Amino acid sequence: MTQPEEAGQPTGRSISLDCPAKINLRLKVGPSRDEWGSRHQLDTIYSAISLHDRVDLTLREPGSGFALTLEGDHLGDLADGHADPKANLAVKALLALAGTTGHQPDVSIHITKRIPVGAGLAGGSTDAAGTLLGLNKLWGLGLPMTSLEPIAADLGADLPFCLHGGICKGADFGQKLTPLDTHSTEVARLTETGLTGHMLIGAYEKELSTARVYRTFDEVGAGHNDLNDLELAACTLHPRSGLALDLARGFGAGPAFISGSGPSVVAMVPEGDRAATLKAIWEREGAVDWIIEADSPVAPVVRPVSVTH
């Protein structure tokens, strides 16, 4: 698996990164654990996909503090001009890394959102991971992944994966990673069962709170034979996701499942006529609000695309 570029000496005052979304090819949920802050035990397989946010980081004058700006068509709650910027995961990543390394957080963060907000696609997590990777380079820290991962894990269970990309197993509360080589027998088995390659993502204007989905999971449990144990909980809270899954399965697409804690729906389907047909079915039945085409896996998850002096 290709890793993001190693950070070296500062190369300029700004850097841009492409930060891909993730899906869970499998998500098995165990009991919550007090030692993990009541987070649930997870057995999951993460895969990065070719749907990206862009994060631009620019150094500011010393003592000026941080700034956050966002743009995009589907910002959800992030469009609220009264939202506390310190609640944004990318800002939390900036402040955490600054506190750990002794740097002042004099950085401007601009995020171009293409990943739907609150959709179970790790949009916030991948932006934060991109911020950690970008600052590691921009500040010339040279920190290895083993130093960045604990900072990431404190911010979110799937955030350490977003530092890596490709396909990884996730254990404990999702932060303990085992990268899978794309040529391994395990990935070959995933491919044989239709869990890699082209997909349609059915996305929604409505967001789902991850905490609320887990609370509902604690009440209703997992469905039978679901790839994602959170599917029943997510569909209970957002029935249109269940409709989109039923239509995809009835159409005869490949595996179809809820992404993360939902409400987004993933249907693995070949590119071309079959994808076009399923899109038409979803649109005709009003099962989704908009449709995104993507491929998986992709690596690296976060990639510097430009540095300006």
Instruction: Give catalytic residue positions.
Output: 22, 158
What's the token pair of residue 298? 């992709």
37 contact partners, CB below 8 Å, separation of at least 6: none
Provide Rg for the chain, Cα atoms.
19
Give kind and range of the element (H or E) at residue 9: none
CA 70, chain centre distance (Å):
17
- For residue 133, the tally of other CB atoms under 10 A from its CB is 30
* Residue 214 neighbours by CB under 8 Å, 6+ apart: 29, 32, 40, 230, 233, 261
Return phi, psi of residue 15, to 5°: -150, 145
Q: Where are the alpha helices (H) located in 84-238, listed in sequence order?
A: 89-101, 123-138, 145-155, 159-164, 185-192, 210-220, 231-237
CB 196 within 8 A of CB 178: no
Contact indicator for 308, 12 with CB cutoff of 8 Å: yes
